[in-house]
Chains A and B, each alone.
Chain A
Amino acid sequence: MKLERSARAPLRAGDSSIWIMAGVLVLLWTLLAVLPQTRGIFLTQGNLATLLVQSAVLLVISVGMTMVILIRGIDLSVGAGVALTGTVAALIQLKCHGSAPLAIAAALAVGATLGAWHGWWAARGIPAFVVTLAGFKAYRGGALVLSGAKGLSPMSDDFSLLARTVPLVPTIIIIVVALAAGIALTLRDATSRRRFDLAPMTSREVALRIGAQVALAGVVAWVFAERGMPVQVLIAGTVALWGIFVTKRTRFGRHLYAIGGNPDAARLSGIDVKRVTIGAYAIVGVLTAIAGVMLAARVNGVTPGSQGNLLELDAVTAVVIGGTALAGGRGSVVGTVLGTLVFATLANGMNHLRIDSNLQLIFTGLVLLAAVQISRGKRS
């Protein structure tokens, strides 16, 4: 039985919840496409593009949230962090007439610093819940103090590029380049097994992986074939692919799983648990700043008192729907991407179905519970 599994190694048991999640997403989309109440709007290029733009900020945050949840942590400060980093960027633009690159760099620096600060405390054994709860309060306050509790707008023109759309031709080039990279990586995986004289990947499997990549690229190309890809989606997509790569294929990423799975074993294996912890929180900080800048660009300004409200809990929701365990050690960024899409699809779909927004909250809560039950059931 073991040998049989070995023959199709990369379709790992851990991946099966991802296939379920992908299936749920396809089911939801099909349902929303055929239900008469949506009047055939759901599965149009325009609606899907809107859906992706609306979930871009959440996706960026959720990728980082996945990493800290993997090491049994959490970051509750990301919503307030979005407000604070957005405020920093906006102030540099409005008060100091700084350029967009300067404003963005400053926001990223603030995000990285705050994230590393959380990580430093968490690595000393202070519960991340408490450390980042302090940030949840403090950064919202910081944003209000810096801005004098006033809304900041509008952002300057160069900054607003982040809310524009990439023209059609570069869009296609980007998609083709990404696809080529994916195929190259797959082929490299196949050949490197041969290099070490291991049982080779079956051609069926190579075909399956490349087929999936081509299909995904095709869908993305179709969605943006009309008007090109929004910059927000481009950023979120890049962050997501980067997150998948880091968790799956870097030493740092594997150490996240080790620490979350068994911290004692990780320490006894010589993993620098403190450094990895600080690194993970610093990444969340940077991603929070990216999200802060994206949101400021999209709404063309910052409302320090409410910008990013509840984002931290939405991100945890997306991560958990995506199958990552709050207990740490299990989960994936791919799952988080799917979780974020399910979350966004529910919101978008229920709007089209004209479900009352209060009822939507109840429904989302139930979906969260169901998702956790599914991923628990898979494990036992």
Chain B
Amino acid sequence: MIELRHISKTFPGVRALHDVTLAIQPGEVLGLVGENGAGKSTLIKILGGVYEAGSFTGDVAIEGKTQAFRSTLDARRAGIAIVHQELALVPAMSIAENLLLGREPAHFGLIDQAEIEARARALLAPVLGAEADALDFQAPVDELGVGIQQCLEIARALADRAKVVVLDEPTAALSEAESEKLFALIAERKAKGDAFVYISHRLEEIARLCDRVAVLRDGELVDVVAPTTDLVPLMTGAAVHDQKVQRQPGTSTVLRIQHLRVPHPTLPGKLVVDGLSFEVAPGEVVALAGAMGSGRTATLATLFGCAKAGYAGDVSVDGKAVALAHPRAAIAAGFAYVPEDRKAMGLVLGLSVADNLALSALGKLSKLGVVDGASVEHTALTRLREMSIKAPSLAAEVATLSGGNQQKIVIGKWLELAPRVLLLDEPTRGVDVGAKAEIYALVEELASRGHAVVLASSDLPEVVRLADRVIVLREGKPAGELAGADITPIQIMQLAVGTAVIAQEALREART
């Protein structure tokens, strides 16, 4: 039996997990569900030794003995294998080498390619069946489809004969046939007494595979329930309808998107956005919701000219067709972008508050290429006052500011350019409650000034609070649209996980 006892972990400014206690029994499949950011990944990273002992409080115990994992290797030796959602393969190395990476059979450091291939074939056969025989095991893995790559990961985890195998969204990249093989394999291993932790957004898979389901919300374990339970209300919690501001969006159209299709940056033939069309009026907030990887971020990045592999479809701003080849073109067309990772993409952390606030508007704030210091200072001061950004001075490095104030700067740096469309990706990720409310008020203020706003967010209460309309995406395709009173966390979640019809009927029955 593997136990997690009273696990708590905080990141600077964020409580990721709080007092989670959970046991995994031999021979069971334990489902783990929750919204994005509920703490699922953090929990399995603790279980798998990615966060080493001492960086969290509480214990991981195996058969009653407390473990102190210092690395992923320790966890693997103790019998915990993890299939991560992001593929951890080495692209240029062969299938055989990847399957035995880190555990190559070697004699005095010398490896035998034939032995590696033989062992690799033995590992992959149960996962892929006859398909494995046809594979060229010496081919580099980047020539393979993502589904087969995922199967390699699974085979690698199963190779250890682990006590517990953690599968993080294993079917996200698998075809139906491949998924079925995986399910059969899980059942077979389960019968032999192996335990699994199964993480998925696909609730029908959870219902089918799992013996028990643990639900996480905001870093806390809400409950461990039977898989037949209606999980969505447990995952989203009580709907938080804080004072929603009623706006009167204009009747004209600022942004019009028709049949947007965006190819996957590295996998040929796969689309991250597939056939998305919508319009945004002045003063309107349209939210894109959906699970991670559903195409929210990809849509915003494409609109800002960041799509690596280009895009197809028509985009127009104020009735004028625009080509979004690169961010400069997008800015010229009237877009402003607040990316999801502000430290990596939104700010120059080592520069001052004033420099960051002036960054997007330097062209406007300079003459003949010489930056006008006074204009920069004036602009920055204006932003500081109107957005109530708390900074010790204009010269302070933005790295020293709190998350909320940093986020205001990422938004504020665009305002000098008076953009037509604001693209906001996770605008309140990692900011405290007070700053969150201020940023909501700011977005509402900007909308009421006539900016069109496209919001991408995994924070459902945030979507409910801000959005006039919600477009729910599932695997790149629009799964449905909600407006007005229909915008509730439960409705969004149901569209996002694809159990809408059944769940809605159940809800209706419950009401009558």
Q: Which residues of A contact B (CB under 8 A)?
A: 2-3, 5-6, 9-10, 12-14, 189, 192-193, 195-198, 249-252, 254, 257-258, 261-262, 264-271, 329-330
Contacts and interface: CB of A to CB of B under 8 A. Distances in A.
Contact of A265 (B101, B106, B137): B101
A242 B97 CA distance: 21
A309 B82 CA distance: 50
A254 B93 contact: yes
B226 interface: no
Interface in B106-135: 106, 109-115, 117-118, 121, 134-135
A252 B90 contact: no
B92 interface: yes
Contacts of A266: 90, 101-102
Given A262-B89, A329-B92, A5 B136 contact: yes
B92 A3 contact: no
Contacts of A198: 114, 117-118, 121
Contacts of B72: 267-268, 270
Given A2-B136, A9-B138, A264 B118 contact: no
Contact of A258 (B93, B113, B117, B138): B93
B104 A9 contact: no
A257 B93 contact: yes
A193 B140 contact: no
A192 B114 contact: yes
B92 A270 contact: no
B84 interface: yes
Nearest to B108: A250
Interface of B: 50, 71-73, 76, 84, 87-93, 97, 101-104, 106, 109-115, 117-118, 121, 134-140, 143
Given A261-B93, A329-B90, A192 B112 contact: yes
Contact of A268 (B84, B91, B115, B118): B84
Among all A-B residue pairs, the 10 with the closest Cβ atoms? A196-B118, A269-B102, A261-B90, A270-B102, A265-B88, A192-B114, A6-B136, A270-B73, A269-B101, A193-B114
A10 B96 CA distance: 13
A107 to B, nearest CB: 26
A271 B101 contact: yes
Nearest to B89: A265
A257 B92 contact: yes
A249 B110 contact: yes
B143 to A, nearest CB: 8
21 contacts: A2-B135, A6-B136, A6-B137, A13-B140, A192-B112, A196-B114, A196-B117, A198-B121, A257-B93, A261-B90, A262-B90, A264-B88, A266-B90, A266-B101, A269-B88, A269-B101, A269-B103, A270-B72, A270-B102, A271-B101, A329-B92
Contact of A5 (B88, B101, B102, B139): B139
Nearest to B73: A270
A235 B110 CA distance: 22
Nearest to A192: B114
B109 A251 contact: yes
A301 to B, nearest CB: 38
A254 B90 CA distance: 11
Contacts of A267: 72
A252 B115 CA distance: 17
B102 A189 contact: no
A2 B90 contact: no
A12 B134 CA distance: 17
A192 B118 CA distance: 10
Contact of A254 (B50, B104, B139): B104
A265 B88 CA distance: 4
A189 B90 contact: no
A12 B114 contact: no
B139 A2 contact: yes
Contacts of A250: 106, 109-111
B78 to A, nearest CB: 13
- Give the interface centre of A3, A6, A10, A251 by most chain B CB atoms within 10 Å: A251
Contacts of B111: 249-251, 254
Given A193-B114, A258-B93, A269-B101, 20 more contacts: A3-B134, A6-B135, A6-B137, A6-B138, A10-B138, A14-B92, A189-B113, A189-B114, A196-B117, A249-B110, A249-B111, A251-B111, A265-B88, A265-B90, A266-B90, A268-B88, A270-B76, A270-B102, A271-B101, A329-B92
Nearest to A250: B109
A249 B110 CA distance: 6
Contacts of B140: 13-14
A326 to B, nearest CB: 14
A34 B103 CA distance: 52
Nearest to A271: B102
A257 B106 contact: no
A270 B101 CA distance: 8
A359 B72 CA distance: 55
Nearest to B141: A261
A262 B88 CA distance: 8
Nearest to A264: B88
Nearest to A267: B72
A262 B76 contact: no
A44 to B, nearest CB: 40
A264 B50 CA distance: 11
A149 B44 CA distance: 60
A210 B176 CA distance: 46
Contacts of B93: 254, 257-258, 261
B76 to A, nearest CB: 6
A193 B112 CA distance: 9
A254 B114 contact: no
A268 B92 CA distance: 17
B153 to A, nearest CB: 10
A254 B112 CA distance: 11
A258 B103 CA distance: 12
A14 to B, nearest CB: 7
Nearest to A191: B114
A261 B92 contact: yes
Contacts of A192: 112-115
- Identify which of B91, B104, B114 gathers the most chain A CB atoms within 10 Å of its CB: B114
B109 A258 contact: no
Contacts of B84: 268
A20 to B, nearest CB: 17
Contacts of A197: 118
A283 to B, nearest CB: 13
Nearest to A13: B140
A250 B93 CA distance: 14
A196 B76 CA distance: 27
A250 to B, nearest CB: 5
Nearest to B91: A261
A198 B93 CA distance: 19
A3 B102 contact: no
B138 A12 contact: yes
Contacts of A189: 113-114
Contacts of B114: 189, 192-193, 195-196, 198
A69 B367 CA distance: 44
A70 to B, nearest CB: 10
A268 B86 CA distance: 12
Contacts of A330: 92
Contacts of A12: 138
A370 B33 CA distance: 52
A299 B348 CA distance: 52
A266 B115 CA distance: 21
B178 to A, nearest CB: 16
Nearest to A194: B114
A39 to B, nearest CB: 45
A261 B91 CA distance: 6
Contact of B104 (A5, A195, A196, A251): A251
Contacts of A269: 88, 101-103
A271 B93 CA distance: 15
Nearest to A261: B90
Nearest to A11: B138
Nearest to B119: A196
Contacts of B91: 261-262, 329
